A and B are shown apart, each in its own frame.
Chain A
């Protein structure tokens, strides 16, 4: 299990209960969980409130009042999605909880599923009740045994308490939650791709609109929601909108899990939206003594590389997007003064290009060419005009991309160019790497693997 970073006691805990409270390790042990649930009174109070007091409209209104937004990276207002699905007329509706966790170096989604499976299942049940779905799916990565066991335990407990099942909450309505595993591609985190994988099809994104909330799983209205979003929804129903609004910022109340990696330690932490990046970096100890922070990589494989002087930026969807980064997978990684921005951008862009699905030209060819430009820069074989070419290409990809993946894949290189111009110029114009990482001159002689040939296309 991942390390949970200690956060200041003043920070609210919405998603992960703090050590000493029930939850955490307790959540994974069925016996201890049953005991804890007994002590804490009936579980799924949020679901009861949603079903018995508020009803569908009331629940959606409460979420809108609380200002809940998606934690999966996009920050889309959750109430709008649920309203669209609730209003849609269809023979069947579905809820899909996205717990895939596409970024291989971020374990935020897995952490909440392992530690707070009850909150996730309760959130799923609330969503299903609200939009009128009888079946819900929680999609997790194949092989995450702990997460699957935790979810299954929570579902079984809810079944035995009568909150799920053929006669859920004694209302005569059927509500079943199923855990499904998917694997085999980074893109499976994207909602339309996830729906296709669950449907047994090739995982390539679909054009939107129609959004999944009207045409989703098996062509039916489907609410696809990140597991953290669903756990937050359950918390809001239990504690009210005003309490939720007390944390975070006005546009984005609440908290989010981030995966922070400093030089010495790293782990998952729950931070309120609007926390300055610098404070988040400090949770993992920064770069340690004797080193200085050169850059922070915010957002995972398609994240932006922000310079140290932007550490005062609040962690919100809008502020990060303005700077050319994004919330993405919740990953925040610190690079110290020894790192090379071009090398970093090269690694990230290459991964994004390799994982692009191939459906559209910006995705298939655009990202590949972008990755090649990055590789040329770090190999010291840049051609005249490569910087301009990369910028123009990135513009075209952003303008013509089908899904968000290829649009975001431009961020590492573009933010590198934006904030570390002189360092990039040293690579491009003189074939030098100021940090001494790329060593273009030594590259051919000492490289264990042959450098990528860069012939004219």
Chain B
């Protein structure tokens, strides 16, 4: 509270006037380029589509391409099938540290997974032994792991990565492609569809085509 009426107004105008004479910060992009590090490529950001779902397919191609392994995905894929259990808590700095540790041959403390249910990895160890730790047999390993746990727990995927020496992004990128592999325990109705031996997209297509051609289905598989 001031005693002189209008002092606040004068103060405010004074600030405006001061700013008016300060050097301007406008950068005439693209004539003038901002001064950033030469290797700066912009901030990484996942985009949303018009329905508000993340556009990311969780293919992990970006993670595979990143030389310092600082990219990881979190969220739902475009088909809403699952989310990636690789939370946002870690910063890029921490990721780099992890990558550096891995390269140095030391084991990486895995704080990102502390909040996931612990899984007993004995089963996956046996599976790896059966498949001779061969990354070429990854699909069989993943299928056997899913058969053992009912789904693919992150801890098991990490274990496979550690033991076969295959990049986690590679393993996740492979697993996220195949519709019969899942990262969560299946819901009852999904299980029924899986038991019927046909993925939902195919069933939808066959049913849709049959309806389109008047209640007739194509094959009798």
Contact = CB atoms under 8 A, between A and B. Distances in A.
B59 interface: yes
B161 interface: no
Contacts of B198: 104
B181 interface: yes
B213 interface: yes
Nearest to B200: A354
B20 interface: no
A105 B214 contact: no
Given A183-B178, A333-B213, A354 B201 contact: yes
A189 interface: no
A351 B79 CA distance: 13
B49 A457 contact: yes
B150 interface: no
A420 to B, nearest CB: 14
Contact of B178 (A203, A266, A297): A203
Interface string B201-221: 111111011011110111111
A456 interface: yes
Given A104-B202, A200-B136, A456 B50 contact: yes
Contacts of A200: 135-141, 174
A110 B221 CA distance: 10
A347 B209 contact: yes
Given A197-B139, A259-B219, A331-B218, A344 B59 contact: no
Contacts of A143: 197
Interface residues of A, number: 53
B163 to A, nearest CB: 15
Q: Is the interface of A mostly helix, strand, loop or mixed?
A: loop
Given A184-B199, A354-B201, A358-B57, A335 B213 contact: yes
Contact of B57 (A199, A347, A364): A364
A456 to B, nearest CB: 7
Interface of A: 2-3, 104-107, 110, 142-143, 182-186, 197, 199-204, 218, 259, 261, 263, 266, 297, 301, 331, 333-336, 338-340, 343-344, 347-348, 350-351, 354-355, 357-359, 364, 437, 453, 455-457
Closest 8 CB pairs of A and B: A105-B218, A184-B178, A200-B138, A351-B205, A347-B208, A104-B202, A143-B197, A358-B57
Interface of B: 49-51, 57, 59-61, 79, 135-141, 170, 173-174, 176-181, 197-199, 201-206, 208-209, 211-214, 216-221
Given A200-B138, A358-B57, 15 more contacts: A2-B219, A110-B221, A182-B139, A184-B177, A184-B178, A185-B177, A186-B202, A200-B141, A204-B59, A218-B136, A259-B219, A261-B216, A266-B218, A333-B209, A456-B50
18 contacts: A104-B198, A104-B205, A104-B221, A107-B219, A184-B179, A197-B178, A202-B173, A202-B176, A301-B205, A333-B209, A336-B214, A343-B212, A347-B205, A350-B205, A354-B79, A453-B50, A456-B50, A457-B49
